[in-house]
Each structure stands twice: as C-alpha cells, then as structure tokens.
Structure 1
Amino acid sequence: MLTLTNVDVSYGKIAAVRRVSLHVDQGEIVALIGANGAGKTTLLSAVSGLIRPGGGSVTFDGADITRAQPDAIVRMGLCHVPERRLVFKPMSVTDNLLLGTYTRRGRASRADIARDMDAVHAMFPVLKDRARQPAGTLSGGEQQMLAIGRALMAGPRMLLLDEPGMGLAPTVCRDIFRRVLELRSQRGLTVLLVEQNAKSALSVADRAYVLETGRVILQGLSSELLANRDVQRAYLGRDKSQED
C-alpha cells in the first residue's frame, strides 16, 4: 500500500534520512523505532508531503506521491497525525474535528460527516463529553485522542502516527495503543507508527524497522525484534544476557 524506495531527505547540507526503503502492506501495523534524532519524524513528513525528498520515491496505493501536495495526499486517503498532537487550542473540540473534513468538501454529504462524527465519539467518548470545550483545556491524552479523531474525520485508509505516546502517563499510553489496534480491527486501517517507546510500538505492530542516524539498520517481525539482543540493549532498556 505504501512503498518508500531509497528516500533521501536533507536540511541544507545535513542528511537527515539516507536511502531509506520500506513498505507497508494493506491492513498492517508497521512500526518505525529509533532514538531521538534518528530521522523518524522527518521520514513521516516526507511521506505526507510536508517535506520534499531530495531523492528516491514514495508511492501510495500504486500512485507516485513523491512530489504531491499534502492536501492531495490526504484526499487519496493517507493522513498524518503529527508529533505533539498540534490541536488548535483556542477552538472547540468539535471544531477541531470538523477541520479534519476540509479535504472532503464537495465530496461528502452532511450525513456522511455526521456519521463519521458519531463513529469518532463512539471510539473516544470523552470528545463528545468535551465537545464545546477549547481543545487547549484537554489533558495530553485527550488531545491525542482529538488529533487521531481529527485525522479519522478525513476518511483515511492509512494513518501515519507520529509519537502518539509522547508525554503521556503509562496507563494513558496503553489506552492509546489499544485504540491503534482497534483502528485496524474495527475500521480496517493500515498504520505506519513512529514511536520512541519501542516496547509499546512492537507490542502492537506486525513488523518494524529500526532507524539509526537516518538509515534502516534492522527490520523484521516485531516478535523477532523484541527478542533481538541489540534491540533490547539499545531500545528496550535491558540486556537479556544479564538475565540468563
């Protein structure tokens, strides 16, 4: 469904992503893990059109989107939930959700929008309870739910989730990742998940790629990477050899 081939991204003379190739098949949850500064957020921004790759190609559902505008990419069904959520804090929860329908104007009826709003409220009931509140008054976990809900209102087939657990309490983080699984099981969405908390990411993903200094250095099934001693040592905070 999504394929990156030898993607390069630079900021001036600094290479942030170097010849990265990966793929996400329809219905998969694929994780991209790595330390701060590894290039994970940059890579998602290149996929969603926020940053132009300097080389390589990005295809979505068979179409080349390497040079496509962000709004065109959203219309195709690929939506980006950004790092740090980036909700519009002075606006109400409902108005934030309705912003997600911007690219559907002229294509979706009011009934369609109302049905999707009901579905978001069913998944995240707190957003219905807080409908008239300014988004900035929500907790961090509630703002993350709002950011995901806003993306769902765009009618996606695939989500790019950037650090959904960032800054959240462990119980809230677990709830967010449970919702990621529900997005696949209940809505059939495909997900590319960027997460610094490798254990959380690998617990929900089918496969994963490990990014280090802008390059993919490992890839495989999540179960394989969870058992990999190098991954354990670098990203899971333990060295299995010390437990034997």
Structure 2
Amino acid sequence: MLTLRNVDIHYGRVHAVRRVSLHVAPGEIVALIGANGAGKTTLLSAISGVQRVSGGEVVFDGRAIAGEKPEKIVRLGLSQVPERRLVFGPLSVEDNLLLGAYTRFRRRQVAADMEEVYAMFPVLFDRRQQQAAALSGGEQQMLAIGRALMARPRCLLLDEPGMGLAPQVCKEIFRHVVALRREKGLTVLLVEQNAKSALAVADRGYVLETGRVLLSGTAEELLANRDVRRAYLGREKDV
C-alpha cells in the first residue's frame, strides 16, 4: 500500500534522510524505530506531504504522491497523527473531530463515524463539549487518533503515540491500534521511540539511524537482534 524508494530529504544544506526505502503492505502494522534525530518524524511528514522530498519516490496505493498537497493525500486515504498530538486546544473535542472530516461532505456518514470514535473512546463522548486543552495527555492522544480516523483513512501514520504518557495509558493506546487493524483492516506505519512497545504490536520494523535504514526485519527478528536490544531496549546482555 505504501512504498518509499531511495527517498532523500534536506533541510537547507542538512541531508536529514538519505536514500530510505521501505514498504508497508495492506493490513500491516510496521514500526519505524530509532533515536531522537534519526529522521523518523521527518519521514512521516514527507509521506503526508508536509515536508518536501528532495529525491526518490513515495507511492501510495500505486500512485506517486511526492509533491502532492497534504489535503489531497488525505483524500486519497492517508492520515497522520502528529507527534505531540497537536490538538486544537481552544476548540471543543467535538469540533476537533469535525475538523478531521474537513475533506468530506456527507454529513450522515460523518455523524456515524463520530459515533464510532465515541464508542472507541467513551471519555471523548463524556467531554465532547470541553476544550481539548483541558484533556489529559492520554485523552488528547485519543482525540488526535479519533480526528485522523474521521478522514476515513486506509493507512494511518502514527508519530510517537506513547510520548509523555503513563505506561498503562500507552498500553491502552496500542491496544486500540491493534484493534483498528483487526476490525477495520487499517494499515499502520508507526513511529515510536519506545522500541519494545512498538515491536510488540508490529508485524515488521525498520531501524532508522542518522537518516538511513540500518536494519529491517520481522518484529521478532528485531527484538532478538543483539544490537537492537543494546541500543533501543536497554539490554546490555543476551537474555
């Protein structure tokens, strides 16, 4: 469903991403792990059209999308949940969700999808008229995911969904990610600094280091890899 071929991204003279190639098959959860500054968020921003690609190809469902406007990419079926959630704090929870459906025009379908989001995250229904800024970090993450789902994506880009959240809340968020794949067939590209949490729910993964793909493999292979354990799982010795 999503393929990157030799993608390069520059910030001025800084070569932030270097000839990255990866793919995500329909219905897969693929994790992209790496340290801060590895280029993970930059790569997601390039896929969603927010960041310009300076070389290579980005192909979504057989269509080249590098250079397309973000709103067009959303209409094609690809939505991003940004790092640090970026909800619209002064607006209500309900208005945040409605903004996620801004490319859609069938009000009945939008209303039905909002009900599905509320069923998935009941706390959002309870607080639907509250300002988003008043929500806890975990609730804001639920809102950010719900807002992305309102665009009816076929592929979801999740950027650090566990950032700043308590471990139990983080586990709940990842349970919902797995349920979305199981129940809706959603394809997910997941960026997460917590490699253990990401690989626990992913089918496959890529390790990004200083803008390059260093390793790739199944989640089990990466979890068993000695270098990955030392660098990202906090294990100095084999267990």
TM-score range, shorter chain: over 0.9
Residue 67 (structure 2) aligns with: 67
Deviations 1:164-204 (A, max 9, x none): 00000000001001110011011110000000000000000
- CA RMSD in angstroms, aligned pairs only: 0.6
Residue 146 (structure 1) aligned with residue 143 (structure 2): yes
Residue 192 (structure 1) aligns with: 189
Q: What is the distance in 2 between the residues matched to 1:46 and 1:161?
A: 13
SS of the equivalent of 1:196 reads coil
Residue 161 (structure 1) aligned with residue 163 (structure 2): no
Query: Quick check: 2:104–2:110 contact (8 Å CA) kept in 1?
Result: no
SS of the equivalent of 2:58 reads strand
The counterpart of 2:122, out of the listed 108, 112, 125, is 125
Residue 34 (structure 1) aligns with: 34
* C-alpha displacement of 1:239: 2.2
Deviations 1:46-94 (A, max 9, x none): 0000011100010000000011100000000000100000000000000
Q: What is the distance in 2 between the residues matched to 1:98 and 1:186?
A: 23
The counterpart of 1:224, out of the listed 206, 210, 221, is 221
TM-score when normalising by structure 1: 0.97
Q: What is the distance in 1 between the residues matched to 2:103 and 2:57?
A: 24
Residue 177 (structure 1) aligns with: 174
The counterpart of 1:201, out of the listed 198, 204, 218, is 198
TM-score when normalising by structure 2: 0.99
Unaligned runs of 5+ in 1: none
The 4+ residue runs of structure 1 with deviation greater than 4 A are none
Deviations 1:132-176 (A, max 9, x none): 000000000000000000000011111000000000000000100
The residue type equivalent to 2:130 in the other structure is Q
Q: What is the distance in 2 between the residues matched to 1:5 and 1:103?
A: 28
Number of residue pairs aligned between Structure 1 and Structure 2: 239
Q: What is the distance in 2 between the residues matched to 1:103 and 1:111?
A: 14
Unaligned runs of 5+ in 2: none
